[in-house]
Amino acid sequence: MNPLRWIMSILEADTQADRVVPPTGHTVRLTLFSAAAMAFLAVFAMALSMATGRLAVRWGDELARSSTIRISAPEAQMTAQTEAALRVLSTTPGIKSARALTDEEQQALLAPWFGNGVALDALPVPQLIEVVEEGDGYDANGLRLRLQAEVPGATLDDHSQWRKPLIRAAISLRRLGTLSLLLIGGTMAAMITLAATAALAANAQVIRVLRLVGATDVYIASAFVRRFTLRALLGGVIGTVIGMVAVFLLPSAQTEGGFLTGLGFQGWQWVWPLAIPPLGAVVAYFATRAAAMRTLRGLR
Amino acid sequence: MIELDNMAYSYGGGELLSGVSLQLQPGAFHFLTGPSGAGKTTFLRLCYGDLTATAGSVRLFGQDVRDLTRDDLAIMRRRIGVVHQDCQFLDHLPLHENIALPLTVSGQGGNEDANLRELIQWVGLSHRARALPPELSGGERQRAALARAIIMSPDVILADEPTGNVDWEMSQRLLTLLIELNRLGKTVLIATHDLALIRAAKSQVQARVLRIANRKLQFAGADL
């Protein structure tokens, strides 16, 4: 069936068909609540998935393009070794730029541990050189060998040691978010199946009468399916709106950093949660239809 | 229209009906009698495919019930009006919508249709059209069930004790309605243990009387 026609057939009120099933019952509240709760959780799972996705991209793209060279040498040789290292770097293919960090920048890096205004002169602090790559990057092993030969106090850190596990962790978290979304969808389908089965059992006499007067299974099922689909859609809208507001109101951790930085949606990503209610309705449609057809097949 | 050929039906290890053969011809009028528990209701349910014969065959309008899909059977039932002993309705719908239910489920809709109003009037329920089924008396429910059974202008009407819950006067009115339908060409089969009703009918219509006894279907003779 054409998807648009299918959606219209669900949304169009078939008042006659809908009226054959009694309008009240605890399954109404159960379905609404389940759909709203699942949609609310789905918004958070989606926010987690997107935040970790952004984290992985940031760590992958930004940090992979930079490296650090640490010069640990006696104070008298520090300047000479730094200049030697910069010379080596300037002749290494794949390096866009290299510069030694200023004292102020190194102080800023140490500030979280030692506070502001730390006197670098009083501490055996190595000189750091920031290296920015270009193109396909440089040959890390070749550069290490050259530095070993020409700048004995230099150590190359291409961030790979700690970047890779972080990216792996971010990707795992993203998978976890996606898995959570699937579990939420499955749980919602299970809950709606239970509610639909209960509704069908409670309306056994209605079904008997309908079959007696010549109603087909599809007709009987559709009366239940439409009702549950619309309830799931309404519950989904309620849960999604509440979830989006809650995500929007999450405290920002931009300055403090850490994992919570940017948990939520950014820019066009706010559109994604809007897909949750219709997806919930689709889940409800198929879950109710399967439950209804299974129950009806049990009757002659 | 409905043909039973050497049909048998067993339930719970016991045989309720055995070696039953019958042809319900267009325009025929039959009564089905027998003691309580003989299997009259079971026989009627077999006749409209609500139960499946365990041996032999049941053919509805030329088709073996076993060969029909569930939807085929549902559509076939629209050609058979059934009046149940317990007159099941949808209690949340007013009477006129219950009577129009066969039209609704077959997509012919139109609760306000003139034919519906005329039918409700014909069974004498115009003043109760908007009442809910639980508010109706036994006789009103029986008439409403009859109206629902015939609203699709079925070829066959199967009635299970249609006068079981009503007084003699009302049973005569219901019988008159069924005889009128038979005169319009409908095939009628009424299961009843009310011999007085059968005698009253035989004075107005050429009715054949069947009896279920000892699991067999027999033709009753002049003892009625």
Could you report the average pLDDT of every consecutive run of 10 residues in chain A (300 residues)?
Answer: 60 65 74 89 88 77 78 86 90 89 84 73 82 83 88 83 76 84 87 82 85 88 86 93 91 55 79 91 88 80
The whole-chain average pLDDT of chain B stands at 86
Domain boundaries, chain A: 3-60+164-297, 73-152
Of all residues in chain A, the one with the smallest CA distance to B149 is A213
Pairwise CB contact (< 8 Å): A20 & B74: no
| pLDDT at residue B165 tops 80 | no
Q: Are the Cβ atoms of B70 and A208 closer than 8 angstroms? A: no
Contact residues, chain B, for A22 at CB < 8 Å: 90, 92
AA letter at B51: L
Amino acid making up residue A166: L
Tokens 């920031």 map to which residue? A130
For residue B77, list chain A residues with Cβ-Cβ distance below 8 A: 211-214
Beta-carbon contacts of residue B217 (< 8 Å; ≥ 6 apart): B17, B20, B21, B22, B43, B210, B211
For residue A31, the SS3 value is helix
What per-residue confidence (pLDDT) applies to A207?
87
Q: DSSP of A240-278, one letter per residue?
A: HHHHHHHHHTSPP-TTT-STTTT-S--GGGGGGGGGHHH
ipTM for the assembly: 0.84
Helix axes A160-202, A217-248, angle to 10 degrees: 140
Closest-CA residue of chain B to A23: B92
Share of chain B above pLDDT 90, in %: 25
CATH code of the domain occupying B2-89+154-219:
3.40.50.300
Nearest CA in chain A to B78: A214
Written as six digits, the tokens of B29 are: 């009028």
Region B7-33: what's the mean pLDDT?
A: 88
SS3 A100: strand
Nearest chain A residue to B49 by CA: give it: A300
Task: Look at residue B137 in the predicted model and tell me its pLDDT.
Answer: 87
Pairing relation of β-strands B14-24 and A154-157? unpaired
Q: How far is B88 from chain A (nearest CA, A)?
A: 6
Report B:17-76 residues touching A (Cβ under 8 A): 49-52, 70-71, 74-76
Judged by CB atoms within 8 Å, which residues 78-117 of B form the interface with A?
Answer: 78, 82, 84, 88-90, 92-93, 97, 101-102, 104-106, 109, 111
**Across-strand partners of A71?**
A127, A154
Residue B224's pLDDT band (cuts 50, 70, 90)? very low
Nearest to B74 among A19, A205, A216 (CB): A216
Architecture of domain A73-152: 2-Layer Sandwich (3.30)
Is the pLDDT score of B223 beyond 50?
no
- Determine contact: B160 vs chain A, CB below 8 A: no
What is the mean pLDDT of the segment spanning B158-184? 85
E strands present in A60-123: 66-71, 95-100
pTM of the model: 0.69
Residues 6 or more apart whose CB falls under 8 angstroms from that of B58 comprise B2, B3, B4, B5, B7, B46, B47, B49, B52, B64, B65
The two structure tokens encoding residue A27 = 């399954």
